[in-house]
Amino acid sequence: VLQKWVNREISNFDYLIQLNTMAGRTYNDLAQYPVFPWILRDYTSEELDLNNPAVFRDLSKPIGVVNEKNAKAVKEKYNFEDPLGIVDKFHYGTHYSNAAGVMHYLIRVEPFTTLHIHLQSGRFDCADRQFHSIPATWQALMDNPNDVKELIPEFFYFPEFLENQNGFNLGQLQISKEVVNDVILPKWAHSPEDFIYKHRKALESEYVSAHLHEWIDLIFGYKQRGPAAVEALNVFY
């Protein structure tokens, strides 16, 4: 599979799906759901220029420290010693992929809607915590070193999860009183289909093809644990 990928006989999307499968990740287990990277950092421009390296996320860094400002807090957390000596050191107390995160992204689509309601003791979680905007979700990642969710494969092929086709009442935001309905898209996307098309194009772009292995090292490769993980600020609880 690696050789096929290097020879460009399979796409970046296919290669990531195969890696997830080999790593034991599966659509049948929310706790081991396939994980895909955030690949863009520009969610505000009117046009998306895939020839400009500045629109892409730095794939060599864990999502928690893509914003340099967060690195200090992350290092401080790692250097905190557990007085009882029970807990190993870690940079992040949460994970880049977990069941709640999958339900967060897929809340508008069954069976994930019902699973989310079960998780929240029989009701929807408060509107401010819902997945309601792609630009706002990215901004939250940049502002908060404790939010380290990567993406799921649906961001590259499934426009329906961005629409509230079932008309669920997801509440309204506290400050703006805005009703949470369809997911708010980046300015450069004119519809959910357009977002998926451009996002998939970005995944297969020259820049991502040249740097994807750096992210793979963090999630599936040698930077998962040990000294390489510590150096890369990539140690999870």
- The CATH number covering residue 151 comes to 1.10.1540.10
pLDDT confidence bin for 46, thresholds 50/70/90:
very high
- Give me the long-range contacts of 209-216 (CB less than 8 A, separation at least 24): 209/8, 209/12, 211/56, 211/59, 211/60, 212/12, 212/15, 212/16, 212/37, 212/59, 214/59, 214/60, 215/37, 215/59, 215/60, 216/19
Q: 61 lies in a domain?
A: no
Tell which wins on pLDDT, 79 or 207: 207
* Per-residue model confidence (pLDDT) at position 125: 92
Please report whether residue 49 resides in a domain. no
Residue at 70 is within a domain = no
- Residue 4: pLDDT above 90? yes
User: How many domains are contained in the chain?
Assistant: 1
pLDDT of residue 69: 92
In-domain check, residue 222: yes
Average pLDDT, rounded, for the chain: 95
pLDDT band at 229 (very low <50, low <70, confident <90, very high): very high
pLDDT on residue 221: 96
**Closest-CA residue to 78 (of 94, 67, 89):** 89
At 132 the pLDDT is 96
Q: Is the pLDDT of residue 179 over 80?
A: yes
Query: Does residue 21 fall inside a structural domain?
Result: yes
pLDDT score of 83: 80
Query: What does the pLDDT look like over 209-221, one tens digit per residue?
Result: 999 999 999 999 9
pLDDT digits (tens, 9 = 90+) for 56-108: 999 999 999 999 999 999 999 998 877 888 888 999 999 999 999 999 999 99
The average pLDDT across 3-15 equals 97
119 touches 72 (CB < 8 A): no
Which range of residues forms the domain containing residue 107? 1-42+75-232
129-178 residue pLDDT tens? 999 999 999 999 999 988 999 999 999 999 999 999 999 999 999 999 99
Task: Supply φ then ψ for residue 184, to 5 degrees.
Answer: -75, 130
Q: What is the rounded CA–CA span in Å between residue 123 and residue 171?
A: 11
Burial 53-77 (b: 16+ CB within 10 A, else e): eebbbbbebbbbbbbeebbeebeeb
Answer whether residue 106 is part of any domain.
yes
